[in-house]
Structures are given as C-alpha cells and as structure tokens.
Amino acid sequence: MTNYITSLLQKIENKTITVGVIGLGYVGLPLAVEFGKKYKVIGFDINTRRVEELKKGEDKTLEVEPEELKEARHLIYSYDKEELRAVDVFIVTVPTPVDDFKIPDLTPLIKASETVGTVIKPGAVVVYESTVYPGCTEEDCLPVVEKQSGLKLNTDFFAGYSPERINPGDKEHRVSTIKKVTSGSTSEVAKVVDELYKSVIKAGTHVVSSIKVAEASKVIENTQRDINIAFVNELSMLFNKMGIDTVEVLEAAGTKWNFLPFRPGLVGGHCIGVDPYYLTHKAVNIGYHPEIILAGRRINDGMGAFIASQFVKLLIKDGCKVAGSKVLVLGITFKENCPDIRNSKVIDIITELKEFGCSVDVCDPLADPAEVQHEYGIDLTLCENLALADYEGIVLAVGHNQFKQLDIASLRAKNVIIYDVKSLFDKQHVNERL
C-alpha cells in the first residue's frame, strides 16, 4: 500500500497524474475543467450528445464559459469507458435523485461504480462527490467496485469522499473558490485526496477523519437550509392570514446582526429539495424517526399548492371567473438564472392552477423547450411573443434577471393580477408577494 500512496503523491507533485471525472453535469464539468487546467483529465459521460456538445466547446448548463473550456488544455471528453483504464484517480459526480416515494435512487451511483470497477487498475483511487447518506459510499458503492474489479479495498485500490459544493447559476461562488471537505478510506489515502484537491481549490480544503463524516457534513448542509426555508415559509403562511407583508417583516428582523437572511419560496432542484430524504431514509433504517427534518419537507413540498390557492383567491376577489382564466407563469427552472429544470417545484403551481380550471401558459427564457416537454409535458410559450396584458393574471415564479425588466406598474394599471413569488418588485406594484 505504501508504494501505491507514494507513487500517487509523486504523480500529483510532478503533474503526471491522470484524473477521470465520471458524469459531466453541473458538478462534474466545472471540476473536470479545473483539474484539466493542470492535469490530464478524461471527462466521461454516458450521454453521447452531451459529450459531443462539449467537444464543440458548448456547455448547455451555462456553468462554464467557452473561454474557460478552452483553458482546460489537458481535458478530453469521452463516452468510451475503455479510455478510463489509464486513470489514477476517479471522481464520481453523478446525480443522486429520489423516486416518487421519496426513497433514494442509487441507480446512477451503482452504475457509475460498475463502470469504475470494470476499468480500475491496482493502486488507483475512486473518490465520490455525489450527495448521499452517511455510510453509502462504503456500504453500497465500494462493494460494487470490488465485485466488478476483483480488487480489494485498501489493499489493491483506495477510496475517498469529497462532497460537491456548487451553486448552479452562481458566477461568484465557483468550484475553486469554495472550501472543499476531503476524506479517505485510510489516513494515508486521505492525504492523497486532500493534496489533489488542494492543488486546484484556491479556497483550501478541510480534511476529516472518515468518509462517513464527510458524507454527513454534506447532507446536513442542504438539510439545514431546507429547515430554515421551511420556517420562513411557515411564517409567510401565518403572516398572510394576518395581513402582514412577510418580506417587510424579514427585512426589519434582518437589522439585527445575527438574524439569518432566509426568504420564503419554492424549494426544488437536485440538492435542497432532495438531500434531506437521504438523511431521513438512513435515520428510519437505523430506527430513528426524524421529526424536524420531515416537518420541514412537508411544509416546503406544499408551497406550490399554497401559492396557487392564494393566486386563485386574488382572481376571485377581482371578479374573475377562475375556470378558463388565462394565467401566465413566468419561469419553470428550479432557481433563477439557471437552465436546470430538475425537480422544479414550479410544476406544482402549474398543476394546481390547471386543476382549478385555469388556462396556463408558461414562459422561461433559459429552459430548454424540448427538456420541459419531455419532463413535464408542457410546451413553453416564447417570451418574445407574449402580450402580457392579455392575461388575467401572472405568477412570477422564478427570479430570472430577464424578468426584472418587466413593466409591472403598467400591467397593474391594466388590472393584470400579479403574484410575485420571488419578491422581485416593490409590494405597491404587485397584488401579493409570498
């Protein structure tokens, strides 16, 4: 084992190490690009279309600019797993979704582990970044690598876990500017993993004692945010009944130095809206019933229906006939300035409005129309063709920068009902804010 570790450390120092990134999505691509500026990197994805786009210098996730893709001079893209046989350190960055019953779906992780197992060589390291419950890497993933490869962990190959830390659509907090947690299957391997990441992460690294600690640190990051958002969402529902503007309350409370600046809203995406279920799944399996985490999930999962019902009440108060009312929903991605539509909770608003009988159009300048049709069965309306004043009401669901340019005041003057989920506009120009 010592010879393997020494060899890996020397390769990092000499910049001769080969890194393989499995999965080139929102997490994998920025990481592969960063490593590719310094080391030979093989970026692998089973999506041939995605690989071909990247070969042309196009990133449809908008996370990496074309100029930055060019800077990764040592990065090649491939969907041929045979090219991974030369890899010294594998980094797995595949999605970890939940199924319809909120149970963790480890299929992408298991398949990625099988891929690694078929090509891994003695002395190599496999590092997982995908968000999982504590114990998943060692209990579910690494046995697959062992079985597929015939190699033994910590004798023939090694492992680590370094939780992904990205914020889709955020051009300030990038992979290299966010401190990275690292860990290894042994203390010696942890040093290898840490040295590798430390060489490209400008913000530095934080080594922990075990893979389980690293896994736990990641899953609670998003669970904590989920619970805090659930709290302000509950406040929003309470203050709505009391006729108090929630945003104004939060701004007033925020004048105290230690008040946390969370805002109410939809909680979707592939992180905050999903990760808590990984923790609760593990908790239930070991005989512990988590109460606060699940309560937060119930509140946040119900916000789409709440927003739709509040909007319908506004229609009724304005004398509109709900059934057949033309309603425009602005935005369907899971967050602002990001094209990612996975697990978007805007669909809950749309579904609820349709159940009330509303005729709903959806516009989003960043979402891919084909992806929206495939995922949700919705044909997007082209934003440039919209006649906003023809709608009885508009639900501003996502705070894209493009929507900030809307002349909301003139729409209100034409009696268009505006529900501002993201509080983009002053309260005097909208009917209601969340």
Backbone angles phi, psi at 69, to 5 degrees: -60, -40
385, with CB counted inside 10 A (0-12, 13-18, 19+), is exposed
Amino acid at 124: A
Residues 6+ apart with CB under 8 A from 417: 311, 314, 315, 318, 320, 392, 393, 394, 431
Tokens at residue 235, please? 């406040």
Q: CA triplet 258, 261, 264: central angle to 5 degrees? A: 145
Among candidate residues 175, 149, 161, 87, the one with its CA nearest the CA of residue 124: 87
Question: Beta partners for 181?
Answer: 206
Residues 6+ apart with CB under 8 A from 340: 26, 61, 168, 169, 269, 270, 333, 334
Candidates 136, 271, 338, 363; catalytic one: 271
Question: Beta partners for 395?
Answer: 329, 419
What CA dihedral angle connects 96, 101, 103 and 104, to 10 degrees? -10
- The question of whether 363 is a catalytic residue gets the answer no
Residues 6+ apart with CB under 8 A from 390: 326
CA 185 to mean position of chain CA atoms? 26
Among candidate residues 285, 163, 173, the one with its CA nearest the CA of residue 217: 163
Amino acid at 95: P
Residues 6+ apart with CB under 8 A from 122: 4, 151, 156, 157
The catalytic site residues sit at 271
